[in-house]
A and B are shown apart, each in its own frame.
Chain A
Amino acid sequence: MAERAIAGLGTLDMERLRAGLDAWQANAAEPLARHEWTPAYLRYPLLDFRETPPPWTAPPADLRRARVALIGSAGLYARGQSSYDAENPLGDYTFRALPSGMDLRETGIAHDHFDSTAAREDRNAVFPLERLRELAEAGEIGGLTPHAFAFMGYQPNYVTLIERFIPDLLDAVMADRPDAAMLVPV
């Protein structure tokens, strides 16, 4: 047994989870390599937190003074930043910090696992940075953190997510001293 408490996720047996993923990956290697997602994910060992009490932090007393961080999984990256490995059937476990004041037209999208047609026309459909900026200008929120954060949310290895990706991402988010965060998965 290698159970350990993960802040916000309860107690998890990471070795058991790792073994389950390894077994799935070995069995699904061929359809994964062919990008045949339905057969590849037939036996994917989904995590289930329905019986785990969610963590809870009290909201800011006044949104008009709160600095909000936007975090989205639509695979945005800024011009000059590297793209994501969107074609990798085992996922990409990196994130990008985007200046919150940036022009969203200066971003690209690399994500092969959702229909990005709308997002390519208007990034706000999945990453509402301009809408949040408008609310900040109107005084409805205190502002945005210096950066918004993006990643490509095809990441089947949740052990890597839990042990490395999320802690690294959250370290970067916390350095921006948010009072609240909006999470936008696709």
Chain B
Amino acid sequence: MLEARGVPTVTLSALRSRTLRVNPPRSLFTGLHNGQIIGPPGDAKAQRTTVRRALGLLVSASEPGALLDMRAPS
């Protein structure tokens, strides 16, 4: 709904089936537990990687419904 107001969005995802049902414009499936969807506590490097991948998807996705699996090789 934010996207419909003219703001591009990227959504993090820990549960692929739920994300597919919601069908956001762009989603990054992290493969991590939802309690640490960005990365383990205290692991700034891993968290930064997730945030960078999400921002990268924000600008690189070419069509609505893009879902990137972060566990796949980039």
A residues touching B (Cβ–Cβ < 8 Å)? 6-9, 46-50, 52-60, 63, 68-69, 71, 114-119, 121-122, 124-128, 130-132, 134-135, 140-141, 166-167, 170, 173-174, 178-186
1-49 of chain B: CB within 8 A of chain A:
1-14, 20-25, 33-42, 44, 47-48
Contact present for A54 and B2 (CB under 8 Å) = no
How far apart sit A185 and B25, CA to CA, in the bound complex (Å)?
15
Contact present for A181 and B41 (CB under 8 Å) = no
Contact present for B23 and A49 (CB under 8 Å) = yes
Given contacts A63-B59, A119-B36, A121-B42, contact A50 B11 (CB under 8 A): no
Taking residues whose C-beta sits less than 8 angstroms from the other chain, chain B's interface range is: 35 or more
Q: Give the residue among B5, B40, B59 with the most A Cβ atoms within 10 A.
A: B5
Contact present for A183 and B10 (CB under 8 Å) = yes
Given contacts A50-B21, A173-B2, contact A118 B51 (CB under 8 A): no
Q: Which residues of B contact A182 (CB under 8 A)?
A: 9-10, 12, 51, 54-55, 58
* Nearest residue, chain A, Cβ from B10: A182
B49-65 vs A, Cβ < 8 Å mask (1 yes, 0 no): 01110110011010111
* Nearest residue, chain A, Cβ from B42: A122
B64's partner among A50, A53, A115, A183 (CB-CB below 8 A) is A53
A-B CB proximity, top 6 nearest: A8-B4, A122-B41, A7-B4, A121-B41, A8-B1, A54-B64
A8's partner among B3, B21, B41, B58 (CB-CB below 8 A) is B3
Q: Which residues of A contact B61 (CB under 8 A)?
A: 59
Contact present for A59 and B38 (CB under 8 Å) = no
Contact present for B36 and A126 (CB under 8 Å) = yes
* Nearest residue, chain A, Cβ from B11: A183
Contact present for A124 and B64 (CB under 8 Å) = no
A132's partner among B24, B42, B51, B63 (CB-CB below 8 A) is B51
Q: Which residues of B contact A127 (CB under 8 A)?
A: 38
